[in-house]
Amino acid sequence: MRKIQVPLCLAILLLGTSAFAPLVNAQELQVKELAEGLSNPWGMAFLPDGSIILTERSGNIRRYSANKGLSEPLANVPEVAAAGQGGLLDITLDPDFSKNQVIYFCYSRAGEGGSSSSVAKATLGVTELKDVSTIFVASPLVDNGFHFGCRLAFDSDKNLYVTLGDRYSFKEEAQNTDNHLGSIVRIHRDGSVPSDNPFVDGKAPEIFSYGHRNVQGLTVHPETGELWAMEHGPQGGDEVNQLAKGKNYGWPKITYGIDYNGDVISDKTEMEGMEQPVVYWDPSIAPSGMAFYHGDVFKDWQGDLLVGSLKFNHLRHIAMDGDKPGEETEYLRDRKERIRDVEVGPDGLIYLLTDAPNGKLLQVSPAKG
């Protein structure tokens, strides 16, 4: 029989992993289902008492605690445009939450001519939100239900970062810093613009970085304080990026993917003045939710990156040597559940949200023995 040699780059593509690291067989983990019956849960955050506040894309915010289980939806949540990929999306706590009880959430907000990714802040009560106000609305409004982005994170200076998508039909606008399409913005907690934003004198002064497609992962490294983001590529070309002020991340001028119909979007993967990803996947894994592990439970995972996959239904562990990616491992694929969000709890365990009409909150711990 004739032996066929497969080029290394093709072999990596056939494995369905990143272009930088091999994929290895998964080990067993323990999974505990904490809650079910959630309507496409999307984002979550841990409260100081160890309980969780989480969103359902249909428009609800709920609490979960080990003692009381899942609460009824909180009152006074603003109406959301829950169509397509839009709805009530990510949620986070104010850096001074223990003093002010303020939360922030990103949602698809209807307006004249379409909808937009918007950010609201509110005071969290026991059964309701109080003093709800919208502090940021991305422009322009677009009449479709795609690529809203909508992950949230605070940096050490208490600035809020909001990820935004290109809204699918307007990918070329990701290179235009006169609007918010395909960008990540940085704002103060009241929605005002930091004076050192890179495009502070422009038409979209909130922009921190641009050239993004649809960013659905955002996290701050627990040791370095650096901001990391993760975005959906088209057919191929999902990316993990280290963010830096004013940088251009290339979409759609450079990409490692092609269009869904097979057309070439760009024949370039690199251009001067555009950033390269730390990791990219081809074929796409449809990543959503990311966190660096920090805790005492998974002792060998300290500083490693955890990523949810919607397409291939798994939790992906990426071994990290500083900011250099290494071996990748898939977990939980046999459960056949789309992983929408990934968080590390204060107890050092890993918490996941599964994206389904009957979505779940899962707690992950190491295998026994």
What amino acid positions are annotated as catalytic residues? 147
How far apart, in whole angstroms, are the C-alpha atoms of residue 8 and residue 126? Answer: 56
136-161: b or e for each residue (b if 16 or more CB lie within 10 Å)?
bebeebbebbebbbbbbbbeeeebbb
d(CA 275, CA 281): 16
* CA–CA dist 249, 242 (Å, integer): 10
Q: Could you please report the per-residue DSSP string of 177-195? A: TTS-TTEEEEE-TTSPPPT
The torsion of the CA quartet 60, 35, 315, 24, rounded to 10 degrees, works out to: -170
For residue 335, the 8-state DSSP code is: G
Residue 336's φ and ψ, nearest 5 degrees, are: 60, 45
Q: What is the 3-state secondary structure (H, E, C) of 221-244?
A: CCCCCCEEEEECCCECCEEEEECC
* Strand, coil or helix: 294: coil
Within 40-86, strands assigned E span 41-46, 52-56, 60-65, 69-70
Query: Looking at this protein, which amino acid is placed at residue 110?
Result: A
Q: Which amino acid, one-letter code, is at 154?
A: F
Assigned token pair, 40:
């496409």
- Spatial separation of the C-alpha atoms in residues 47 and 101, rounded to whole Å: 10
